[in-house]
């Protein structure tokens, strides 16, 4: 499927943006991973921990959380409870992020949310469910829709890197940005992944 999507994007972007077409060619096919057996609570916690931070800073904070989990032979669900708020601050997490993760964990424990039910939802319903959690906005929902649920047509326009990348590819032409988004639908997740990869590798 990824090869077919790759060819679709190449064909549709050729006459719209040669810079984007060249980037897609250089990156090669992009593969999405659907994590049906993955740990959704851990993924959501990690996403919140990285909100509004550089990748380096987010990774540094999460590595301290992982160290605390491993040293105490525990899990995210058991670690993120109210009585541990102060020790969690030592990992570099803000009080609001700790509150958000504790609340999210509690919602799953109370069965207000479940991984199985969320996998059945289309993008809009998934976004509504995730953003109903305190401290979880559209950016967080988009990140989990892409990285965990493998939705194919997510355009994470709350992400600063994505905004920067599409502006460069469209040469700061808003109408051209919209045209790029239109021709890449219904596979805008792949467009986003190409942009992230292009920025990481300094191709954009």
- Domain of residue 62, residue span: 40-147
d(CA 199, CA 204): 6
Instruction: Write out pLDDT tens, residues 185-199.
Output: 999 999 999 999 999
Whether 18 and 88 share a structural domain: no
Kindly report, residue by residue over 14-71, the tens digit of the pLDDT: 999 999 999 999 999 999 999 999 999 999 999 999 998 988 999 999 999 999 999 9
Q: Which of 166, 150, 123 is nearest to 1 (CA)?
A: 150
Torsion sign across C-alpha atoms 29, 119, 102, 42: negative
Query: Domain check: are 47 and 137 in the same one?
Result: yes
Is 130 found in the same domain as 104? yes
User: Number of folded domains in the chain?
Assistant: 2
d(CA 111, CA 125) in angstroms, rounded, equals 17
Asked if 189 and 32 touch (Cβ cutoff 8 Å), the reply is yes
Q: Do 51 and 117 reside in the same domain of the chain?
A: yes
């Amino acid at each position: 499927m990824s090869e077919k999507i790759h060819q679709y994007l190449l064909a549709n972007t050729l006459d719209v943006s040669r810079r984007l077409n060249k980037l897609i060619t250089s990156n090669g096919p992009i593969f999405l991973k659907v994590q049906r057996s993955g740990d959704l609570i851990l993924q959501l916690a990690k996403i919140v921990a990285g909100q509004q931070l550089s990748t380096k800073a987010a990774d540094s904070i999460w590595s301290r959380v992982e160290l605390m989990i491993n040293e105490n032979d525990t899990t995210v669900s058991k670690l993120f409870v109210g009585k541990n708020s102060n020790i969690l601050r030592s990992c570099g997490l803000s009080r609001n992020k700790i509150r958000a993760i504790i609340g999210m964990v509690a919602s799953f424990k109370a069965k207000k949310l479940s991984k199985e039910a969320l996998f059945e939802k289309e993008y809009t319903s998934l976004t509504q469910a995730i953003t109903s959690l305190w401290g979880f906005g559209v950016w967080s929902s988009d990140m989990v829709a892409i990285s965990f649920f493998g939705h194919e047509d997510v355009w994470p326009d709350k992400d600063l890197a994505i905004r920067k990348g599409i502006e460069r590819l469209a040469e700061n032409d808003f109408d051209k940005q919209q045209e790029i988004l239109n021709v890449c639908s219904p596979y805008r997740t792949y467009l986003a992944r190409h942009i992230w990869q292009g920025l990481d590798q300094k191709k954009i």
